Amino acid sequence: MNEEPQLQQDDDNSESTFPNDSENPGNPPEDHVADEPVVDPQADDTAGLRGPSASQVRRLDTRLRRLTRAYLNQTNRLESYLQIVTACQKQTAEFANHVIERHALHPAVEAVDLLTGLIGQLNDQANDLLDAAAHCPMFDPLFGSIAEATRMAHAKCEHLDMRSICPAPLDELDIDKHEIRQAVCTDDPDKHRRVERTLISGLIYRGAVLRRAKVSVYRHIPQEPQNRKENP
């Protein structure tokens, strides 16, 4: 008799201890599964295949064009520098060969110039005797040989690019080609530092002066007036 009321009381306590789910709607039951977003793997693959946007492509294209222009400009500058360096090397080699050859051939060139000058003098003397020996045919071969030797000597000098430096009187003094050896006084100011005469001719070989001509020049010395007024 006493056990039944006790069981009924326990049932009431159990119901109060475990409340109904409907009374607390904020707490989901343990066996409830929350709604999650559905992931479509095919959609993700499609997004990956879609690639960069149009603005990104334009930016990349602009940057690529700038890099291309910079590369071409740099390449053109390098080619210009290489051309300049090559031209300088060529000119340096030509100048070095020219200088070495000129110095190596200096004695031979001077000898050729000296012989040419002697042959020219001999030809001038032969021309002076030509009229006197016109009645002597035996001298004709000699004069012909001298004239032919003179022609050959001048042709060889022209072929070797050899030129004599022999300024005429009253020519302007060229310090690069003329060397002053003496001076002649003059009262004419227009003759000052002009060539009076050539003492020894100079020599130019392939555009370079091997030997300057030794010359005499005028030197102007102003003269004081003879009738000077004396101060009272």
Q: pLDDT tens, 64-76?
A: 888 888 888 888 8
| CATH class of the domain comprising 163-223 | mainly beta
Judge whether residue 33 has pLDDT over 70: no
| Residue ranges in the chain assigned as alpha helix (H) | 3-17, 41-50, 54-104, 106-130, 140-159
pLDDT band at 228 (very low <50, low <70, confident <90, very high): low
pLDDT of residue 144: 81
Neighbouring C-beta atoms of residue 117, cutoff 10 Å: 14
Q: Average of pLDDT values for 187-199?
A: 92
Q: What backbone phi and psi angles, to 5 degrees, belong to 216?
A: -110, 135
Do the strands 208-211 and 202-205 form a parallel or antiparallel pair, or are they unpaired? antiparallel
pLDDT score of 164 more than 60: yes
Instruction: Flag whether pLDDT at 39 surpasses 50.
Output: no
Asked if residue 180 has pLDDT above 80, the reply is yes
Residue 138 has pLDDT above 50, yes or no: yes
Amino acid occupying residue 210: L
pLDDT (0 to 100) of residue 175: 92
**Number of C-beta neighbours around residue 127 at 10 A:** 12
CA torsion through residues 126, 127, 133, 136, sign = positive
Residue 215 tokens read as 């010359």
Confidence of residue 100 (pLDDT cuts 50, 70, 90): low
Q: 């000052």: which residue's tokens?
A: 192
pTM above 0.85, yes or no: no
Task: State both tokens at 171.
Answer: 């020519």
- Looking at mean pLDDT, say which of 25-34, 84-93, 136-145, 172-181 comes out highest: 172-181
Q: What would the DSSP string read from start to end of 146-201? A: HHHHHHHHHHHHHHTTEEEE-PPTTPBP-TTTEEEEEEEEES-GGGTTBEEEEEE-
Give mean pLDDT, residues 51-77: 84
Mean pLDDT of 181-186: 93
